[in-house]
Structure 1
Amino acid sequence: MYLFALVFGFSAFVLSCTRLPNVQGKGELLLQGVWNQDSIANNNKLLNYTKHHFKISCDSFYVDLTTYSKANYYEDSCFNKGVWKEYAKGTYLVKGDTLLLNGTFTKANYKQKVSGCYRNGRYLANFKIKSSSANNLVLESLNDQRECILVLKEKITCEQKEL
């Protein structure tokens, strides 16, 4: 009896496994495109804020982050008079009303960044999707509850690539 259960269990396991295709996922149709955060409400009253520029294609994202700061959190050589750019890329997932971004910080050419000014390593960001339409997307950062109002600049059609 034990041997039968073992053979049956192993057979069911093997038959239930399916090889995933070796191509990137399709992602969310609504998000496909180049999105820009043109302005930030009350930015003159904030100590610091970051503008986002996203390119979302299939299940991948690229983000340019431009930070404006009145306070110096970095070495003087990195502070750049209170304006600096960071870059990240990775994959995203939408679960319910939440956009989950999982990637790494990169150089401006989106190649791996291992040292230098600002942040290195993992880029993890989560946003609540507050509203969406064909040309507008309103996100709320789950980290600091700041709104990120994005405007569609260019629509992209997902062309899945091999991994």
Structure 2
Amino acid sequence: MASCSLNPDTQGPGEKYIQGEWQQDSVPAQKRLVTYSLYNLRFSCDSFFMKISTVSKVNYGADTCMNSGHWNEYIRGTYSQKLDTLHLKGEFCNADGSYKDEKGCFRYGDYEEYFKVKQKTDSLIQFASTSNVIPINVHLIKRTSCVPKPL
């Protein structure tokens, strides 16, 4: 007989060192790249909100989506960390965090990624994606503390 348990009614505490807003300002050799993305991440307790700002010299689709080679995608979800690996699991959403319809621009649906994390200093972290060779170096913009919210 399998057992089950109720989901918690509030957020978990998450990782203390990562609480706050983090920004990536540049990518190594970005002037030579055809396409690159810059990341802004907010961690609140065990939740995250990510903005991926992409710049491309190649137009892959309708300009209403591509906006002359500049566009943003948003993801919200929860994270967990084991040793040096950060696991982000969520879904693509609109800028306000609301559900993203599949008829919109770019990716929609589930998002899942694993990052090797190296904390360089209290205000500088490197995320090395398991699916991308370019590391994401982010610096702290604003430190926050976890104040668990009801789910």
TM-score under structure 2 normalisation? 0.91
Task: Determine the C-alpha separation between the residues in 2 that align with 1:74 and 1:20.
Answer: 41
- What's the counterpart of residue 130 of structure 1? 118
For the pair 1:34 / 2:25, whether they are aligned, the reply is: no
Q: CA deviation at 1:77?
A: 2.5
For the pair 1:145 / 2:138, whether they are aligned, the reply is: no
- What's the counterpart of residue 108 of structure 1? 95
> Rg: which structure is higher?
1
How many pairs were matched up? 150
8 Å CA contact 1:52–1:64 kept in 2: the answer is yes
- The one of 13, 37, 44 equivalent to 1:50 is 37
For the pair 1:97 / 2:84, whether they are aligned, the reply is: yes
- What's the counterpart of residue 5 of structure 1? none
Task: Determine the C-alpha separation between the residues in 2 that align with 1:32 and 1:55.
Answer: 7
Q: Runs ≥4 in structure 1, deviation > 6 angstroms? A: none
8 Å CA contact 1:74–1:118 kept in 2: the answer is no
Residue 148 of structure 1 aligns to which amino acid in structure 2? I
Q: CA RMSD in A?
A: 1.8
Q: Deviation per CA, 1:49-75: give whole Å up to 9, x if none.
A: 110001100000001110001122222
TM-score under structure 1 normalisation? 0.85
Q: CA deviation at 1:18?
A: 6.6
Q: CA deviation at 1:41?
A: 1.3
Residue 84 of structure 2 aligns to which amino acid in structure 1? D
Unaligned 5+ residue runs, structure 1?
1-9
Unaligned 5+ residue runs, structure 2?
none
**Which structure features the higher share of helix residues?**
1
Q: Deviation per CA, 1:16-42: give whole Å up to 9, x if none.
A: x77564211100001101000011111
